[in-house]
Every structure is written in C-alpha cells, then in structure tokens.
C-alpha cells in the first residue's frame, strides 16, 4: 500500500502541512523538525507524488528532448546527461527523434506536444531561421548545437573552432605536417564548417599549408562515411601523416581502412576524433578525441528551461560548454592514455 503524507504525519506526530513543507523543502522548518519528519519518511519508505506536485504548479513535469540521431553514440550520451540533469529537478524527459528532417523539426518546434510538456530542448539540423521565427508556442525552447539563428532563445554549444584547433595543434606538436580533415559538408555554417575552419586556422598558425586535397567530404557522419572518405584520399595517391575526423564514428571508419591497407595507427598515420564516445575508448587502438563536456551541456539545458519556467531569465543567453582533448593510443602509441 502506498504511504501517504498523512501516514508520515501520524508516524512523526506532526501535521500534514509540516510534512508537506519538509517534502517541498520550504525554508521555514527548524532543523530538528526537518530531521524528525525525514526519519519518518525514511522508515516508512514514503515517495512523493511528483505528478501531483507538478500539477499543483500548473505543469506536467515533462521536458521534451528532440535529437537528430539517437543511433549516434554522442546523442545517446547527451540524452543520458539531460535525463540525469532533469531527474535532479524531479523532471521526466520525453525523447523525440527528428532524423534531422526539416519537416519533423518544424513539427517538434511548433509544439505538437505542447499540452504535455513544460519545455523543449532541441538540437536542430535542417531547421531554418524563419521556421523558428514563425513559432507561436510559449513553451520554453532551448537550442543545442552550433547553428546560429540569432533569435531570442537560449543556446548551448561548444566552440568548435577552438576545439578543432586544439586537435590539430596536438597533431602538429607530435611532428605531423600533413593533416587531413574527414567529414566536410558543403553549405550552411554548421559544425563541419566550423571544424574545417579550425583546421585551417591552426595549420596557418603553424606555417603549414591547408591542402584542400586532404579535405574529404562525407554524405553522413557514420563509420561507413569515414571509411569511404579515407579510401578516396588514399586512392588519390595521398598519404597524410595525420587525420582529424569530424567525429569518432568517422575516425573509427577511417582507422579500419588504414588497418586493412597495412598502415599503422599512429606510427604511420595518427588519428583524432571528436565527441569522445565510449566506443572509441575500447577499440584495438584507443582513440584520441575532442571531449565536449556533455554533462555540462545537459545540465545547462535543463537549468535554462527551468529558469524560463520560473521567469528568472528574461533575456536570451548563450552558453559555451567546455571541451578537452582526451589523448590516447591513436596519436600517442600503445599503452597511452586511459578510458
């Protein structure tokens, strides 16, 4: 049988109101009374009815998270970070998979779940500025990623140019002079273009040429895309001594091709990925990777939604999450780095 506030109050010898004040963490409760009620809560195994608590505030207790690729480990790990951050505030996360399709992103952003969610966190790929400008829903929206819409929404990203420069600087510091970039995309200013820009800037800073013959575009950003791009570079007669890949999946695909062709990583060609997903830490050669602070991104996203709900953030804000380079065997050799 479910334990109620009334049961806790009877056990502690206090009023139901006092128990409610403790459960809702109201400040005007003495330390002794709080301890007394908490002891009864623990002994009886009371669990608050979060749904009722949210409904009393006119909320559902649900935040939607819309992502383009749930099959991509980066987005899966990011989703876990958002879910953990939301749980710390007694919120549940509803996942939406957009597939990076504009029509689905429009549907999500225009609030087709508006009646069941309190806020929306979204990582758009194809959504246009006008699509968001036409948005009429008042459900708070927080954007993730590097597309700059210049609209009044909180936005959380990492500095892709700086992160790319960190990766390339690491390779140059190891004596590599012909650094390829795999994962370019033509068109709008998105993460791929920002990472190519960082690649170019760091090469220039080192006095090295940015050879367009070592830039390989991909249709997608999966293992097969990395393998196909690496194959094209090698079959064009090019032999870079390092590869900076758009993400870890592309890097792993490229490393597979290098292995199949008898090229050693990192002795012949050093490889750096991006995202620091778990898969890259457990291969035959562990992967050096740019590691975004996914936990911070998740936390900032949830806190931004809740700040909007509480009316605490009148002006739109842009947050930059930190990144670091996780150095492992694909650049430093066997036995280097950890998981």
- In this predicted model, what pLDDT tens digit does every residue of 200-224 receive, in sequence order? 999 999 999 999 999 999 988 899 9
Tokens of 125: 């790929």
- Taking the CA atoms of residue 10, residue 11, residue 12 and residue 14 in that order, the dihedral angle to the nearest 10 degrees is 0
Q: What pTM was computed for the model? A: 0.81
Same fold, 61-158+293-322 and 160-292+325-332: yes
Q: What is the reported pLDDT for 188?
A: 55
What is the rounded distance in angstroms from the CA atom of residue 204 to the CA atom of residue 6?
Answer: 70
Tokens of 246: 């758009």
* Topology annotation, domain 61-158+293-322: Rossmann fold (3.40.50)
Tokens of 162: 């700086």
Judge whether 161 and 197 are in contact, CB under 8 Å.
yes
Residue reference for tokens 């600087």: 169
- Residue 191, classified by CB atoms within 10 Å of its CB into exposed (0-12), middle (13-18) or buried (19+), is buried
What is the rounded distance in angstroms from the CA atom of residue 278 to the CA atom of residue 271?
Answer: 16
- Phi, psi (rounded to 5 degrees) for 95: -90, 135
Q: What is the pLDDT of residues 280-330, one digit of tens each?
A: 999 999 999 999 999 999 999 999 999 988 777 668 889 999 999 999 999
* Topology annotation, domain 160-292+325-332: Rossmann fold (3.40.50)
Q: What is the reported pLDDT for 33?
A: 87
Judge whether 238 and 229 are in contact, CB under 8 Å.
no
Q: What is the reported pLDDT for 167?
A: 98
Q: What is the reported pLDDT for 211?
A: 95
Q: What is the reported pLDDT for 98?
A: 93
What is the rounded distance in angstroms from the CA atom of residue 194 to the CA atom of residue 117?
Answer: 33
Low-confidence ranges of the chain (pLDDT < 70): 1, 48-59, 114, 186-189, 313-314, 338-339
The superfamily in CATH containing domain 5-44 is lambda repressor-like DNA-binding domains (1.10.260.40)
**3-state SS class at 254:** helix
Q: How is the chain split into domains, by residue range?
A: 5-44, 61-158+293-322, 160-292+325-332
For β-strands 141-144 and 154-158, DSSP reports them as: parallel
Considering only CA atoms, which of 186, 245, 177 is closest in space to residue 211? 177
Q: What is the reported pLDDT for 147?
A: 81
> Which DSSP state fits 189?
S
Q: What is the reported pLDDT for 49?
A: 60
Q: What is the reported pLDDT for 310?
A: 77
């Amino acid at each position: 049988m479910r334990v109620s506030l009334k049961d806790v109050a009877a056990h502690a010898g206090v009023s139901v109101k006092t128990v409610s004040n403790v459960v809702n963490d109201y400040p005007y409760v003495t330390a002794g009374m709080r301890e007394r009620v908490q002891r009864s809560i623990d002994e009886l195994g009371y669990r608050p009815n979060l749904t009722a608590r949210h409904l009393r505030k006119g909320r559902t207790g649900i935040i939607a998270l819309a992502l383009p690729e749930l099959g991509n480990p980066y987005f899966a790990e990011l989703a876990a970070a958002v879910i953990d951050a939301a749980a710390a505030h007694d919120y549940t996360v509803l996942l939406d998979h957009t597939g990076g399709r504009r029509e689905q992103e429009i549907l999500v952003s225009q609030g087709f779940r508006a009646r069941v969610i309190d806020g929306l966190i979204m990582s758009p790929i194809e959504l246009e500025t006008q699509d968001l400008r036409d948005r009429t829903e008042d459900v708070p929206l927080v954007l993730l990623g590097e597309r700059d819409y210049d609209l009044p929404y909180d936005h959380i990203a990492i500095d892709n140019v700086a992160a790319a420069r960190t990766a390339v600087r690491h390779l140059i510091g190891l004596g590599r002079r012909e650094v390829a970039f795999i994962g370019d995309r033509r068109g709008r200013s998105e993460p791929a273009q920002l990472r190519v820009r960082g690649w170019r800037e760091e090469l220039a800073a080192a006095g090295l040429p940015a050879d367009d013959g070592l830039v390989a575009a991909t249709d997608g950003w999966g293992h097969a895309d990395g393998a196909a791009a690496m194959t094209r570079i090698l079959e064009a007669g090019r032999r870079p001594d390092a590869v900076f890949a758009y993400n870890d999946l592309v890097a792993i695909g490229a490393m597979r091709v290098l292995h199949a062709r008898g090229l050693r990583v990192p002795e012949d060609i050093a490889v750096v990925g991006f995202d620091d997903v778990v898969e890259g830490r457990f291969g035959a050669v562990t992967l050096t990777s740019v590691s975004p602070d996914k936990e911070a991104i998740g936390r900032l996203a949830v806190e931004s939604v809740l700040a909007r709900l509480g009316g605490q953030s009148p002006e739109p804000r842009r947050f930059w999450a930190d990144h670091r380079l996780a150095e492992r065997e694909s650049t430093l050799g066997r036995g280097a780095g950890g998981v």
